[in-house]
Amino acid sequence: MRTFKVAAVQMVSTTRPQENIETMHRLVRQAAEQGAQWVLLPEYWPVMGEKDTDKLAFAETLGKGVLQTAMSEAARENGVVLFGGTVPLQSGEEGKVLNTMLVYGRDGAQIGLYDKIHLFGYSGLSERYAEADTIAAGKTVPKLAADGMNVAAGICYDVRFPELFRAQQPFEVLMLPAAFTYTTGKAHWTLLLRARAVENQCYVVASAQGGLHESGRKTFGHSMIIDPWGDIVAELPEGEGVVVADVDSVRLNSVRTRLPALAHRCL
């Protein structure tokens, strides 16, 4: 593994997909201009609807559609590997979509995908979320790779289930797009991300939604890149923007050599 730059894009997506596409293109270009070779978009980047059902209207068939075309173009035009946050894809279940991360190579071709497995549910403090009402759960543990490296993936609520990432070992980088609520994010976002980095001795790249949306929902932001020791090496608290940092093979190998926890696993 060589040393290279990765970027986490943070957005405050609107209810208007075309507007969000334009923002995505601008931020991916900004990341590439800062030297990023891999770029991660946040969950729900194409649309944060006023109602959970709004995303049903924008669901695409795998392999075609304006959202997929936009990500392919962004990867190709900027010469990056693009981990496409999530987009709604048709699921075959009435009233439900798949919440899917699509991965595009530098030539714009799709090279991987992952359908979100764990569906967020929360109620309290005048908030209620039930993704299972409008999302069909994925069934397959992701097996992604880019530039000859194994890459782990999860989406938002997945971060609370460490067994998902153990099942993807071995890997060096974990890519996690999210739209954490402000309430749960303030309590657990950084804690969970650092735990996943430490226990897997890997880099974690986490892209978030980060602000107040038209539905009144407030997302936590704090997109960040974490190294294998659990140190936060780049972070954006709120608003749209990009954070960039190195994935350093020397740092990763040093952590794994000095504390060979992965080699000590018994289960």
Percent helix, percent strand, percent coil in the chain, to nearest 5: 30, 30, 40
User: In the Cβ-directed half-sphere of 249, how many Cα atoms lie within 13 Å?
Assistant: 5
The residues that are catalytic are 43, 116, 156
List, as one string, the DSSP characters of 84-118: ---EEEE-SSTT-EEEEEEEE-TTS-EEEEEE--S
CA separation for the pair 260, 237 (Å, rounded): 32
Separation of alpha carbons 217 and 58, rounded Å: 20
What number of helices (H) and strands (E) belong to the chain? Answer: 6, 15
* 195 φ/ψ angles, rounded to the nearest 5 degrees: -65, -45
Side chain identity at 100, as an amino acid letter? Answer: T
**Residues 6+ positions from 258 with CB-CB distance below 8 Å:** none
Residue 164 near residue 117 (C-beta atoms within 8 A): yes
DSSP letters for 163-196 = HHHHTT-S-SEEEEEE--BHHHIIIIIHHHHHHH
